[in-house]
Amino acid sequence: MTMHRVGRDITVLADSLEVPGIGFLCVNAFVLHATEPVVVDTGLSLPDRNFLDAVGSAIDPADVRWIWLTHPDRDHTGGIFALLDAAPQARVVTTFLGAGIMSTERPLPQERVFLLNPGQSLDVGDRTLRAFRPPLFDNPATVGFYDDRARACFSSDCFGAPVPSAELAEGDDAGALVPEQLRAAQLLWASVDSPWVHTVDVGKYLATVQPLREMDPEVVLSTHLPVAGGLTSRMLDTISSAPGTDPFVGPDQRELERMLAGFEPGGPAPGPVRVPEEAPAETPARGVPT
């Protein structure tokens, strides 16, 4: 995990995960250094990650007042209970549905839950965090927010993009990808993470993009993208075109067996996965990028 500072107020805790055949996926969490400090998401649920140590490099955990859980998927909740133990004054910002989903594995302590819906706001002392539902999401409990002081949009999974290397994934600049490379990766991620986008009423979907245009953030902070400064308009144009792209179709059992047959323990990982060329015509297929 690496750390980056965005302006005076935000620390990015940047991690990554390799997705065979697709690339490397950023898995970011954030510390917002407000008067009442906020930790946004809590990293991967993998045994070799110590999220609390990472947070402690940016802020004394005991000073944390809010833990904003953008949604309760396992790549957002890895360190939440350790952080709750280390931050006795912190409350978890989530939705009724988010708290309910968490309760199916390990319930959040109810006295420390703060329910906040899209359209509502949270005062953290020196700024107001305005909650919104991102245009693209993979969990119905997803809630991002806009920081009106830092002019930063915390977008959860929306705007994510797999990148070619761990160095890029844990870097501090989405602009390091050439525009067409970033566009293709974001459209791929939209199809993988939000497959429903191919079946929506396009007009209604575009209406969910418009509030972000009006928001006009200087920087977009996505869980699955390096820091994106000055790219908002271009990225909004990209996700606006997502409904019209080809749906992603992953490898089937035969492709998995081909991968495994070409893999030697201790040797290099198999090459990029591609969708079988024989995919039925009625099921549009798109190969994943190399």
Burial bucket for residue 18 (CB in 10 Å: 0-12, 13-18, 19+): middle
Mean pLDDT, residues 82-89 taken together: 98
Which pLDDT tens digit goes with each residue over 5-64? 999 999 999 999 998 878 999 999 999 999 999 999 999 999 888 999 999 999 999 999
Q: What is the pLDDT of residue 20?
A: 80
Q: What is the pLDDT of residue 276?
A: 32
Asked whether residue 167 is assigned to any structural domain, the reply reads yes
Asked whether residue 77 is assigned to any structural domain, the reply reads yes
Torsions phi, psi of 31, nearest 5?
-120, 120
Q: What is the pLDDT of residue 244?
A: 96
Burial bucket for residue 169 (CB in 10 Å: 0-12, 13-18, 19+): buried
Q: What is the pLDDT of residue 273?
A: 42
Tokens of 88: 């006795």
Asked whether residue 73 is assigned to any structural domain, the reply reads yes
Residue 179 to residue 186: CA distance in whole angstroms: 11
Which residues form the domain of 105? 2-172+217-232
Asked whether residue 242 is assigned to any structural domain, the reply reads no
> Is the pLDDT score of 129 beyond 80?
yes
- Closest alpha carbon to 227 in 44, 59, 34, 10: 10
Q: What is the pLDDT of residue 259?
A: 76
Asked whether residue 181 is assigned to any structural domain, the reply reads no
Cα 195 to Cα 24, 187, 191, 243, 259: the distances in Å are 20, 11, 5, 9, 25
CA within 13 Å, CB half, 177: 28
Q: Pick the range with the lowest mean pLDDT from 12-16, 222-226, 251-255.
A: 251-255
Q: What is the pLDDT of residue 251?
A: 87
- Closest alpha carbon to 15 in 5, 37, 30: 30
Mean pLDDT, residues 87-94 taken together: 98
Q: What is the pLDDT of residue 270?
A: 47
- CATH number at 106 reads 3.60.15.10
Mean pLDDT, residues 262-274 taken together: 50
Q: Please, which pLDDT band fits residue 238 given cuts at 50, 70 and 90?
A: very high
Residue 58 to residue 289: CA distance in whole angstroms: 35
Domain count, the chain: 1
Mean pLDDT, residues 128-134 taken together: 98
Asked whether residue 244 is assigned to any structural domain, the reply reads no
Non-local (6+) Cβ contacts of 140 within 8 A are 97
**Whether 158 contacts 165, CB under 8 Å:** no
Asked whether residue 12 is assigned to any structural domain, the reply reads yes
Which pLDDT tens digit goes with each residue over 183-199? 999 999 999 999 999 99
pLDDT above 90 covers what percent of the chain?
83
Asked whether residue 116 is assigned to any structural domain, the reply reads yes
Choice between 228 and 273, residue whose per-residue pLDDT is larger: 228
Which pLDDT tens digit goes with each residue over 141-189? 999 999 999 999 999 999 999 999 999 999 999 999 999 999 999 999 9
- What is the edge-to-edge ordering of all strands in the sheet holding 128-132? 121-123, 128-132, 144-147, 152-156, 219-222, 228-229
Return the H-helix or E-strand segment holding 132. strand 128-132
